[in-house]
Amino acid sequence: MFKELRNSVVKAAIDALQAGDVHRWAGLFESDAILLDDGHPRDLQQFSEEALGHEKFTTIDNVSIDGLNLEGEFHSDTWGRFRTYFRFTISSSGKISKLEIGQA
């Protein structure tokens, strides 16, 4: 969907988020993956169940050179529209080991 996404794991995660596909999204993460929301630990499974299908990027305006950090306009059925960032850490096995999200 977003051509500017350079990292294949990040692209797969954002595609799953945009589609609201919880199972595809969850399969991209390590079993012990960490989620930080505005710097605060958050339960990844709970976030996934609550957010997917109700939250998504409307634009992605900035992507880091390595493709692991992105920023753009985000829509949440609960919180409305705002700028947000997602920062991914990919493990040596090719899965997401940490995701940091927050308002930009």
Mind listing the domains of the chain with CATH numbers?
8-103 (3.10.450.50)
**pLDDT for 3-51, tens place per residue?**
789 999 999 999 999 999 999 999 999 999 999 999 999 999 999 999 9
Query: Is the whole-model pTM more than 0.75?
Result: yes
pLDDT at 3: 77
Non-local (6+) Cβ contacts of 18 within 8 A are: 1, 56, 57
Tokens of 81: 């529209």
pLDDT band at 1 (very low <50, low <70, confident <90, very high): low
Q: Which helix (H) or strand (E) holds 24?
A: helix 22-26
Specify which residues 84 forms β-bridges with: 72, 103
Non-local (6+) Cβ contacts of 4 within 8 A are: 60, 63
DSSP 8-state symbol, 92: T
